[in-house]
Amino acid sequence: MKRAEQERSLQTKNKILLAALTEFASTGFDGVSTRAIAKKAEVNHTLISHHFGSKEALWKATAKLCFEIYSEHNFEKRRNMQDAEARTLVKVLLKDFIKFCANYPDIHHFLIQANQGDSERLDWFVENYLRTIYDEELDIIRRAQKLGLAPQGDSMHIRYLLLGAATSIYTFAPQFARLSGKDPFSDEFIEQHVDYVLTLFTTCAKKL
């Protein structure tokens, strides 16, 4: 009985976290209430206080969830390609980063909202999670630059150019879908988008 209760408690907590990710990604910390998150999760709002204590703590737990999703995704790819040739590995990691942006748009939107919010909250996020992610991404970009797969120059600047190219279409997904009549989240479209972004960057790398 106790184990069943623990499993239900964990399921409830996960439902709240996923709902919080969607809501924080949509309107930011100040734009959403815990009641709205509870409604999205289809749970009693008192359970948020029970599991997380406060809205601030829930936001931090959601930030941690973003990091865990990214880390697991990235770790699996690295583990599965330990013996790959360097050029192939970098290409696949760049491709995988673009796919991640497409498959997890709420995480990108959460990062955008975090960047617009309270500076202390952003400082906490950067120091506890984002710096680790960025260091890993910069390592991939520097390796790509050495192999001629990315433009030369400041790797942090190149990272944000790549991020913009990879994610902007998903930031404006509803608008793009209406204008183009295409689903930017379909598997076929994502593959095409990946090819376009990689072609753009590798072509620029060859010309510069």
At 75, is the pLDDT very low, low, confident or very high (cuts 50, 70, 90)?
A: low
pLDDT: is 94 or 154 the higher one?
Answer: 154
Contact 107, 114 (CB under 8 A): no
* pLDDT of the residue at 58: 96
Angle at 179 between CA 175 and CA 181, to 5 degrees: 105
Whole-prediction pTM: 0.82
Residue-range domains of the chain with CATH:
60-207 (1.10.357)
User: What is the Cβ-side half-sphere exposure of residue 123, based on CA atoms within 13 angstroms?
Assistant: 3
Between 136 and 19, whose confidence is greater?
A: 19
What DSSP string describes 11-68? HHHHHHHHHHHHHHHHH-STT--HHHHHHHHTS-THHHHHHHSSHHHHHHHHHHHHHH
Q: Which residue has the tokens 């409830």?
A: 12
58 vs 197, higher pLDDT = 58
Only one residue has tokens 């209406």, namely: 178
With b for 16 or more beta-carbon neighbours within 10 A and e for fewer, the 173-204 pattern comes to: eeebeeeeeeebeeeebbeebbeebbeebbee
**Residue-wise pLDDT tens digits, 39-56:** 999 999 899 999 999 999
Q: How many residues does the chain have?
A: 208
